[in-house]
Amino acid sequence: MIPQEKHLQIGSLLFEGVDQIDLTGPFEVLSRIPNSTYRIFGKAAETVRDLNGLRLTPDAVLADAPQLDVLHVPGGSGQEALMDDEEVLGWIRRQAAGATCVFSVCTGALVLGAAGLLKGRRATSHWSAFDLLPYFGAIPVNERVVVDGDMVFAAGVTAGIDGALRVAAELRGVEVAQTIQLYLVYAPEPPFDAGTPESAPPAILARAKKAVEGLTTRREATARRVAERLGLTLTFQGQRQGPTDS
């Protein structure tokens, strides 16, 4: 836990094609951490659209970001464009080097992988991209939130809220995190037990896989290419703990 008197700089990466809940879910938590400043940073100052068209605008450009105590990297289909974007990847590497916590949601983990930050790390990601983590030297763990040292990984979309609460607890203590959770009335009671590959009906899972088949294929090709660029092999393939049907 960081002393309450230390002011925290918290920042999220924004990009075209982000999944807005990967960004805005954690925002609801991170922006309420006491004695902190939360800002959103993008490559440019212009408004971008999330993967479903919602308009989002950064507070500042990457170059204007201070050294962050918490770096939050969301995911979404726009993640693909970042995998070879050295401006963004270099910024992530520099920020991560001085941050207290690096927090990814969903396929934001793949962006961290492209930045070379996952080697030897226990990590998770969205179920559709979970099997790609070993390409970046990560050890996949099939859990909703995975904490490995100064890095926190949330499996996907709504799991970002859970991950952000874990970050809040690490930074300011459990009582602060619980207070934020209470304020958000975060006590989910989903109407269906279909939120994971293991619990979803087989027919639903098959249709969901089919819907993302093209993107999944492109992501795997990108993962292979980036792994080669980073000089990585599937060292940790035998340690995978992921969904067997994903």
Locate 40 and state its tokens: 């959103």
Rounded alpha-carbon distances, angstroms, from residue 142 to 22, 119, 132: 18, 17, 13
Angle between helices 213-230 and 202-211 (to 10 degrees): 60
Q: Inter-axis angle of helices 159-172 and 20-30, to 10 degrees?
A: 30
How many other C-beta atoms lie within 10 A of the C-beta of residue 199? 11
Q: Is 49 exposed, middle or buried (0-12, 13-18, 19+ CB in 10 A)?
A: middle
**Closest to 219 (Cα-Cα) out of 82, 20, 15:** 82
Which two structure tokens, joined as six digits, stand for 93? 């590497």
| One-letter identity of residue 4 | Q
101, 107, 135, 139: which is closest to 121 by C-alpha? Answer: 139
Distances (CA, A) of 220 to 71, 77, 226: 25, 13, 10
Annotated active-site residue 101? The verdict is: no
Catalytic option among 23, 29, 89, 106: 106
- What is d(CA 170, CA 125) in angstroms, rounded to the nearest whole number? 20
Known catalytic residues? 106
